[in-house]
Structure 1
Amino acid sequence: MSETSQPTRPSTRLRRAEVSVLITATVISVLVGLLVLAAWRNDYLISTDKGSATAEVLSAGRLRSAVMYVTPDGETHNPKVGVLYPTNLTAGERIRVEYRRSDPDLVRVEGRDVRVAIMPALSVLVVVWGVALSALWLLSRMGRRRSQ
């Protein structure tokens, strides 16, 4: 190896690390944006063809809660993906839900919509970009120290 190629090798690694940090933060940001758009789309679909019912919470979790409800036509529904916006539910609780009549498996807790997802999404973005900008700052400092 020549002597001139050695000093550029660490700077190339630093540049690659910086690009990797930016790409990772951007990809996560896009995914968070897509999640919020998907929630908005689901809300729109429910709102354009809305039915409502009383449901029983079968199991409750922070990210997924299973419910069972009966539509006016007498069919019992237990959506495989659970109910949208499931926070603060408890097993055995009876709640009001809104569902899409043409697709009863698309169901949300009554009174909740995409606004419930905005604050968690924004907090994820703040943390991701806080970590990314801190990492970029550290990488920049390392690059300046090596160039001196």
Structure 2
Amino acid sequence: MLVVGGVVTLMCVLLPLACWRDDMAIERRLGQAVAQVDSVAFNRTVVRYATPDGRVIIPSQGVLYPAGLNVGDNVRVEYDQANPELTRVAGRSAVLSLLPVGTFLVAVWVVIGLVVTVLRRFGTQV
């Protein structure tokens, strides 16, 4: 159980670090635009925007930090000019990943603690 908890903890630490890395890439070569929200799903929110040179960009992985967006909304986005696929909602950052990741991590350790307690109570070695 401790190995599972350790692996999940490592993943939960790496996720905000990856978000921070993406934010740094965007800020290094910052581009800004107004995007239209085309679709909203559990795993991805698709937006469409035009760059100053006239290219229309639809990031295949969706936009970063999409909470609260609805289909048809117009939203300001920031993107990496060298890689316009890397796009986030303007004004949002990796800080937004800390609460859900932290909450998930606490829940995982509570469940692990309960499982270990139940197994010990019934005499099974962990």
What TM-score, normalized to structure 2?
Answer: 0.93
**Which AA in structure 2 matches 1:112?**
R
Q: What pairs up with 1:17-56 in 2 under 5 angstroms?
A: 21-56=1-36
Which residue of the partner structure matches residue 137 of structure 1?
117
Alignment RMSD, CA only? Answer: 1.5
- Describe the superposition over 1:20-40 as per-residue Cα deviations: whole angstroms up to 9, x where unpaired: x11111111111111111111
Which residue of the partner structure matches residue 109 of structure 1?
89
**Which AA in structure 1 matches 2:111?**
V
Q: Which structure is larger by alpha-carbon Rg, 1 or 2?
A: 1
| 1:127 and 2:101 correspond | no
Give SS of 1:24's match.
helix
Displacement of 1:129 in angstroms is: 0.3
Q: Is the 8 A contact 1:66 1:83 kept in 2?
A: yes
Q: List runs of 5+ in structure 2 lacking aligned partners.
A: none
Structure 1 stretches of at least 4 aligned residues deviating more than 3 Å after TM superposition: none
Match of 2:63 among 62, 73, 83: 83
Higher strand share: 2
